[in-house]
Amino acid sequence: MSGRFHPYFLARDYTKCVIARGKCLLEAPPEQYKPLFTVVDFPSFGFRTMFGSWIVNRVMHPVSTPEFDTNLMFHAPGMGVVNLAEQFALEPALTREIAFELQVDHPAVAHGGKKQDIIMSTDLVVTFERPGGMLQRHAYAVKQAKDLTERVIEKLAIEQAYWTKRRIPWSLILDTRLPRQLIANMELVMEFAEVGRLPCDAIVVRDATAWIVPHLRTGAPLRTVCSRCDAALGLPRGTALSVAYHLTLKGTLPLDLRGAYLPDATIEPLRAVA
């Protein structure tokens, strides 16, 4: 994300504001990662959602709606994501070298009466755990399709070349290509990712789970099953649905988050074999 500027993010200050402050260390424990900047550094953007991640156990800082949606997508169960690092600073020495090679201008701002290069950044670096336990990083730029001007494409070319030189795959994610149904369902369930956020104790979670899982096999929609569960166990309305959302995120309920609106989702009923 090279188009945003803050006085502390001049390329000349990379050592002082990134290295010395321990920011953007991919090798750091996920919960200790520090992004180049946070949403509070750019209050005028109007998008201040700080994302509480249950994967990295810290607050993440998407600074646009597409970035927030992309974070939700990578938090979906079954993706094998073990780490996410947002607003990752790129080393100015290398981005300047690449800009020279590509014969394009390095991102810069007018500051102190002259034009000065700024620190470029990548929106998200995701670490996946592949079969066999191998870890693989992938860098992502996240953009709105309408913002892909010629100049933005030049900046993206610098970013892509940066990661190519680092031998890390890089991809561009456009808002128009995001899986909207998955993201809508993730917005429903994210509040209940942690068991401590559920409106009931561990015993109720256990009993509701034991009730929901087999009854979903009847082919009834999730909302119907959960409503019946509340009635059967004498629970406040909505309790079983919140448990089901939690179980879906944990992968206990094999519901397709990319399919139907989650309360209407079903599981193929079990059929007797003749």
CATH of the domain at 29: 3.40.1350.10
User: Of 120, 145, 178, which residue constitutes the final position of a domain?
Assistant: 178
Residue 271 lies in a domain: no
Q: Are residues 173 and 189 in the same domain?
A: no
pLDDT for res 49: 74
- 210 and 227 share one domain: yes
Pair 172, 60 in one domain: yes
Q: Which pLDDT score, from 0 to 100, does residue 110 have?
A: 87
Are 45 and 141 in a shared domain?
yes
In this prediction, residue 3 carries a pLDDT of 47
pLDDT at 39 (0 to 100): 81
Q: Residues 158, 223: one domain?
A: no
Q: Are residues 15 and 55 in the same domain?
A: yes
Average pLDDT for runs of 10 along the chain of length 274: 58 94 96 92 63 95 93 96 98 98 96 90 97 95 97 98 98 98 96 94 97 94 98 98 96 91 85 48
**217 phi and psi, to 5 degrees?**
-70, -5
Q: Are residues 172 and 196 in the same domain?
A: no
218 and 236, same domain (yes or no): yes
Would you state the pLDDT for residue 215?
Answer: 94
In a domain, 57, yes or no: yes
pLDDT in the model for residue 58: 96
Instruction: Name the β-bridge partners of 140.
Output: 124, 171
Q: Which of 178, 208, 226 is the last residue of a domain?
A: 178
Residue 269 lies inside a defined structural domain of this protein: no
Q: Which domain holds residue 56?
A: 7-178
Q: State residue 1's pLDDT score.
A: 47
pLDDT value of residue 41: 79
The number of domains in the chain is 2
Sign of the Cα torsion 40, 63, 180, 256 reads negative
Same domain? 144 vs 61: yes
| Rounded CA separation 256/261 (Å) | 9
pTM of the model: 0.90
Burial of 155 (0-12, 13-18, 19+ CB in 10 A): buried
Write the CB contacts of 225 (distance below 8 Å, at least 6 apart in sequence): 212, 215, 216, 218, 240, 244
Tell me the C-alpha distance between 122 and 158, whole Å. 11
